Structure 1
């Protein structure tokens, strides 16, 4: 995350309704953070399945550029309606969407994307763009999911990794801006064998197992209550699969925060089943936080 005072919240747009939902989310987030908002559209016209043809006296793709200008203008108008006092700029950048968005990330405070798209940002979640941006962006990535709500906690997935700690810190800061509480959620399962030669005990103390898991959550939030005394922080250790635990928790949350990669139930988050499940099924926006390069 870029902490420079001028770093903007960047939102990728394509004119679809999910894209406009991302604009509204991004505008509200920029207003909370006292940051400017930058609206970006990646124009790579051969990839756009559009019947629009260029003007006869214009360059190839000229008609599509005019369409892009209209959709950026509409996105800026949407942002201004959401946060009237916000400083907002819009730009069309020629290039492949992933490359364009990653190029914006080093100077961004936050990147915001819709959960589905059209044209240059097609299939943001089910395709490769969101996965690649979230995996490689030099800033947190926020994906618009579910219906916006002003109540409910900020839920963060905890797994005991260093990156999980970064996700918790992001969640606590986000909660402070929202006047919300934080729920640090940790999923665990019974010890199982992971391969040949990895012998696990047939009998183990359930209370000791739970105590170990609760220590993992306690360590993840250690010291944050002192730094953010205005933010209530609660801890939950839930037996079950992380994908289901986090998705269920998102029903009552206004924001779900996960680390870009983890271990155990959150390992390989971006490329594995947990992230895909959360990004497809979360009932609230999802923020993906990764370690800096």
Structure 2
């Protein structure tokens, strides 16, 4: 019996077809169904959908859409034959259509670039918008995913990042993959531990900041090992920039998981600088998981 739903957005681009394969495998591991979704903007603009009188009888926008959806469904079934695959063509622009679809899904998968946009952009607006506004975790497929390697989780210790921690552990368990929990700090963003000698308020022994960050990481992961006892976890605390460390770790990762926003940045922003940097520069797939306000 199928439980749950994975949604994948398609537009006929090579990036979206790769996303279809990733989504099909994610659905297989979850025992979920897969829904292939195409946002068909032209009917809303009252553009003729049938073949042109001057063109071939098999032409036209409707025929083109039918073909690209059929190709995506075929690609999904080839990647995961046991998955129940459905498809839907929804009138509207992709950002609105996929955000609505995310309300009933446990995961939405998209390619990093579609057919639209400007040449030279590293990631399309649909992926960025969904990462900020999707009601479930959004997996953006960058390049072809590695078939092995760990799940890399960016941990900042914020309350908003707890759902990302849960998602990363669940992914590692589904894939039977090791989990690298990566936390970074600098002397500018690390909370100062309480001084051991109250008479010298700024005196701390060497290594006190690093030890405090190790503790923060352990607390952020607390309780997950008991729920996922088969997941092998590596704690990795790095003194340096978060974006640089996660982008470098993505070179050998099966997937990088981050929260939409962390403890830094400006209040009200839906997508933080770290998650945006990964969407643009990571070397593999990135899952962005919203905290408070997101359904998952």
Structure-2-length-normalised TM-score? 0.84
Report the secondary structure of 1:186's partner residue. Answer: strand
1:225-244 correspondence to structure 2 within 5 Å: 225-244=225-244
Whether 1:86 aligns to 2:88 is no
The equivalent of 2:223 in structure 1 is 223
Give the structure 1 partner of residue 129 of structure 2.
132
* Per-residue deviation, 1:272: 4.4
Q: Partner of 2:213 in structure 1?
A: 213
Alpha-carbon distance in structure 2 between the residues aligned to 1:228 and 1:121: 43
Could you say which residue in structure 2 is the equivalent of 1:162? 159
Contact 1:43–1:65 (CA under 8 A) maintained in structure 2 = no
Does structure 2 conserve the Cα–Cα contact (< 8 Å) formed by 1:116 and 1:122?
no
Alignment correspondent of 1:69: 66
1:102–1:291 Cα change, 3 Å: same
Matched with 2:256 is: 256
Q: Is residue 21–residue 76 contact of structure 2 (8 Å, CA) maintained in 1?
A: yes
- How far the C-alpha of 1:16 sits from its partner, in A, is 0.7
SS class of match (1:277) = helix
CA displacement, residues 108-163 of structure 1 (integer Å, 9 cap, x when unaligned): 01000001110499999634322221111111000111332222111100001112
Give yes or no for the alignment of 1:288 onto 2:288. yes
* Secondary structure at the counterpart of residue 167 of structure 1: helix
Contact 2:3 2:31 in 1 (8 A): no
Structure 1 stretch displaced more, 30-39 or 159-168:
159-168
**SS across alignment from 1:139:** coil
Alpha carbons of structure 1 residues 192 and 132: separation in structure 2 relative to 1, 3 Å: closer
Alignment partner, residue 103 of structure 1: 100
From 154, 173, 183, give the equivalent of 1:176.
Answer: 173
Q: CA RMSD in A?
A: 3.1
Which residue of the other structure, out of 9, 19, 25, is the alignment partner of 2:6?
A: 9
Tell which structure's C-alpha radius of gyration is larger.
Answer: 2
Conservation of the 8 A alpha-carbon contact between 1:156 and 1:182: yes
Are the structure 2 counterparts of residues 275 and 133 from structure 1 closer, same or farther at C-alpha, using a change threshold of 3 Å?
same
1:61-100 deviation line (CA, Å, top 9, x unaligned)? x921221111000000000110111100111110011110
Deviation at 1:226, TM superposition (A): 1.1
Instruction: Indicate the residue corresponding to 2:24 in structure 1.
Output: 27
**TM-score w.r.t. length of structure 1:** 0.85
